[in-house]
């Protein structure tokens, strides 16, 4: 009886692991990644949106991305968007850049930021239901990564 309970527990653990693996592998088809974890003040931030799925994704505006101050959770850029449908085909990517300015066209301060793209995998971009993000740090005069930033970021990739 005890070995039956152990076998049943092992089967449950394997099933949970397999379901978790399947869910994780299905979510990673659309990604957003900054070209670096840390940028010097004034550097151009570059990031790439990759659609690894087998269908087109749709974004409700241009630019398709937004930059947020991660410490205050406030929108930094852009203030205005064009409300047009932007599509990204299957197995394709698009690279964007941000010159580290806020919506007043001022240089942003040092600190953590995140770039975000909201999209819809169906042709209903006005009701986007998926979001991809990546984070980065705007540092001092040299692009040195804070000692813990890379470790923290690696936990979420």
Among 57, 121, 131, CA closest to 89? 57
Q: What is the structure's pLDDT at 122?
A: 82
H or E segment at 154?
Answer: helix 149-155
What is the pLDDT of the chain when averaged over all its residues?
Answer: 80
DSSP 140: S
CATH superfamily entry for domain 29-155: Immunoglobulins (2.60.40.10)
Among 96, 136, 133, 97, CA closest to 118? 133
pTM above 0.75, yes or no: no
Q: What is the structure's pLDDT at 141?
A: 56
The 3-state DSSP composition of the chain as helix, strand, coil percent (nearest 5) reads 20, 40, 40
Is 6 a residue whose pLDDT tops 80? no
Write the pLDDT tens digit of every residue in 100-142. Answer: 999 899 999 999 999 999 999 887 656 778 999 999 999 965 4
Q: Break the chain into its structural domains and give their ranges.
A: 29-155
Torsion angle of alpha carbons 66, 70, 75, 81, nearest 10°?
0
Is 16 a residue whose pLDDT tops 60? no
Say if CB 135 and CB 112 are below 8 A apart.
yes
Q: What is the structure's pLDDT at 3?
A: 53
Write the pLDDT tens digit of every residue in 35-73. Answer: 999 999 999 999 999 999 999 999 999 999 999 999 999
Rounded distance between C-alpha atoms, residue 86 and residue 89, angstroms: 10
Q: What is the structure's pLDDT at 129?
A: 84
- Going by their DSSP bridges, the two strands 38-39 and 130-138 should be labelled as parallel
């Amino acid at each position: 009886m005890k070995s039956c309970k152990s076998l049943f527990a092992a089967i449950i653990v394997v099933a949970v692991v397999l379901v978790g693996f399947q869910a994780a592998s299905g979510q990673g088809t659309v990604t957003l990644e900054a070209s670096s974890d840390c940028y010097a003040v004034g550097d151009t931030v570059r990031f790439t949106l990759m659609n690894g799925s087998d269908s087109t994704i749709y974004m409700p505006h241009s630019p398709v991305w937004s930059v947020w101050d991660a410490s205050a959770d406030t929108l930094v850029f852009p203030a205005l968007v064009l409300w047009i449908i932007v599509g990204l085909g299957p197995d394709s990517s698009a690279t964007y850049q941000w010159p580290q300015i806020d919506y007043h066209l001022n240089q942003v301060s040092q600190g953590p930021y995140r770039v975000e793209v909201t999209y819809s995998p169906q042709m209903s971009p006005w009701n986007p239901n998926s979001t991809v993000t990546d984070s980065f740090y705007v540092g001092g005069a040299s692009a040195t990564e804070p000692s813990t930033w890379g470790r923290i970021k690696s936990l979420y990739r």
